[in-house]
Chain A
Amino acid sequence: MTQSANDAQPRQADTISTSSASPNQTTRYADASLLRTHFAETVEEISEALGEVTVVAKREGLVELMSYLREEARFRFNFLSDVAGVDLGEFAEPRFAVVYHLYSLEHNHRLRVKVYLNENDARVPTMCGVWKTANWLEREVYDMFGVTFDNHPDLRRILLPADYEGHPLRKDFPIKGY
């Protein structure tokens, strides 16, 4: 089959190509190239490194993208593994990344979705409507990085006291006290 014919054919769930991983680990990542056409405005970049596929997305349309990833038969990411915040450095722009790790119990594959945020506008829509797990995980990112999750039902600090000042996992937060 030629490449063009392959592209024209709608792909079936069982033909998902999986990336090779390092010898001592067998985690499979989903082939996300389909998202390029379906979510052309939201998805900025799809890359693969060390056998792990990263989808860089814009926050506009993120909820739709995640709902699609959850419902679509060939992805079925019904399990939200993790929501992580990363501070890319106090002088970096964009400054923050919010990283979602998705897992599909059905297909046994994973995917990483990443959203970059500027410091003066660090907000993303909440995923609480897609996965309930997101509730606490997003609260932790808010607590540690000060990233706001729009429409979150209960966006409070989770690990630190309510009157705490600052967000300790930011790179400009001192490790030592006064």
Chain B
Amino acid sequence: MSRGSQESSSSFVLGPAMQTKEITVPTSSVAMMGERDPLGDTQMTVSMGPQHPSTHGVLRLELVLDGETVVKATPDIGYLHTGMEKTMEKEKWQQVVTITCRMDYLNSMGNDLGYCLAVEKLMGVEAPPRAQVLRVLLTELNRIASHLVWWGTHGMDIGAMTAFFYAFTEREKILDLFECATGARFHQSYFIIGGCRWDIPDNFPALCADFLNGFPKFLDEAKRLLTGNKIFQRRTQGVGRISTEEAIQWGLSGPSIRASGVNWDIRKSEPYSGYESYDFRVPVYHGGDVWSRYLVRMDEMEESLKICRQALERLKEKGPVMADHPKLKLPDRELMKKHIDVMIHHFLIASEGFTVPIGEVYFPIESARGELGYYVVSNGQERPWRVRVRAPSFVNLSALPAMVEGQLIADVVAVIGSIDIVLGDVDR
């Protein structure tokens, strides 16, 4: 009754869909926060995050503690969910690369690469050799950059503040290289379907060689600073252990599973972009603890450096960076001025986009965090019907309770750091 009178007095009336409804939020767990069990148990529920600095973004953990021991851990995610998979469905095929690199923002090159390879497989297109070398080089540089952020923040979580500054100084150099090659530092969208957006500038190889020559010195320093640090070792050795069987059961991938003794790297097992022709080693450790995961990533930086050196050598060979495909490559500008049909062709690609044959494809690649899979479904239109991203951080995070339950609360911080999640990748 009273609502009716309100409606008549106001000039703006809410439609039925906009009226506020009673919200039912499950408050039981929130109400328990900070309270002791009334039955006299020593258990206590604590909310960690989403603003906790060690959660690397907006991860919330609901921890049930018995003293300092974690009895139960329940990750609560979704704070960064932006519906990227939905957004991709409304973008054209070639526009999606601007979204993919924003998911796992520390490994943006790898995210673009996976999507491009998936669509290229659907279309039956292969990027030219020079584009493949560029893809490998930049993806590996990005892997180093991503591992540097992990190294710095992982150390900082545990209390080694200095490492962070060294790592970010070094990462800055890689971002400068990206700026030189692609024009952007973070969200490059440099890999496009069919190749790369443009060729690198002439001074890039020299700048890149400078960085590659200086990086081993940094790695030595890094090892002295953190790897050899007794406090760091005591904080990480034997912490957050996960056995080989459990790691496989929980679907861990990337450095996290290689630290549990599984020799599996998609760059080796299902090579793409010519990885089979590069000489590198897959570091495997058997401890399954935070320390092993640390060592795997430290070794991986060295291996990535090796790949970068080989790729830089191959970059001396000039060639096209875009596949010569009428749908993917924009027509020549001079021809456009002379022929109306070339002009129309350009206009159609730029305004309507191109179509991709009907089909579905699952393309896994090795991102800095593990298996990054793109399941792309096309219904033959200018826009993807469905792009599903198998995000490595999402699956790796689901194994977190298995690693931290029974451990001390202070070690939760170390374990989160060691699985190297990016919340943009978890929530998408």
Where the two chains meet, the residues of A that have a C-beta atom closer than 8 Å to any C-beta of B are 22-28, 49-50, 52, 54, 78-82, 84-87, 99, 101, 103, 105, 108, 110, 112, 131-133, 135-137, 140, 144, 157-163, 168-169, 173, 175, 178
Contacts and interface: CB of A to CB of B under 8 A. Distances in A.
Contact of A162 (B25, B363, B398): B25
Contacts of A84: 375, 386, 388, 390
A136 B394 contact: yes
A164 B399 CA distance: 26
Interface stretch (B120-128, B153-161, B167-175, B412-420): B120-128
Contacts of A101: 362, 373, 375, 390
A86 B124 CA distance: 23
Nearest to A24: B126
B201 interface: no
A132 B395 CA distance: 10
Given A27-B270, A159-B428, A160-B78, 4 more contacts: A133-B250, A136-B395, A162-B24, A162-B25
Nearest to A84: B388
Contacts of A158: 77-78
B23 interface: yes
Contacts of A168: 83, 86
Contacts of B78: 157-161
Contacts of B428: 159
B236 interface: no
B384 to A, nearest CB: 11
A25 B77 contact: no
Contacts of A27: 270, 362-364
A133 B251 contact: yes
Interface stretch (B41-49, B176-184, B271-279, B326-334): B271-279
Contacts of B117: 24-25
Given A82-B390, A84-B388, A163-B23, A135 B272 contact: no
Contacts of A81: 251, 362, 364, 371, 373, 390
Contacts of B375: 82, 84, 99, 101
Contacts of B262: 105
B90 interface: yes
B114 to A, nearest CB: 11
B209 to A, nearest CB: 27
B216 interface: no
A62 to B, nearest CB: 19
A168 to B, nearest CB: 6
Nearest to B363: A25
Nearest to B118: A25
A24 B127 contact: yes
Q: Considering the complex of A and B, which 5 residue pairs feature the smallest CB-CB distances, nearest first?
A: A133-B251, A159-B78, A136-B398, A84-B388, A82-B390
A178 to B, nearest CB: 6
Contacts of B388: 82, 84-86, 99
A169 B85 contact: yes
B359 interface: yes
Contact of A25 (B81, B121, B250, B377): B121
Given A22-B124, A25-B363, A132 B250 contact: yes
Contact of A133 (B18, B249, B264): B249
Nearest to A114: B360
Given A24-B126, A133-B395, A159-B78, A87 B251 contact: no
A50 B250 contact: no
Contacts of A132: 249-251, 398-399, 402
Contacts of B362: 27, 52, 81-82, 101, 110, 112
Interface in B360-417: 360-364, 371, 373, 375, 377, 385-386, 388, 390, 394-395, 397-399, 402
Interface in B121-174: 121-122, 124, 126-127, 132
A99 B248 CA distance: 20
Nearest to B379: A89
B18 A52 contact: no
11 contacts: A22-B124, A52-B361, A81-B364, A82-B375, A84-B388, A86-B386, A87-B386, A110-B362, A132-B398, A133-B249, A169-B85
B1 interface: no
Contact of B359 (A50, A79, A135, A161): A50
A79 B127 contact: no
B289 interface: no
B17 interface: yes
B103 to A, nearest CB: 13
A162 B26 contact: yes
A25 B272 contact: yes
Interface string B23-38: 1111000000000000
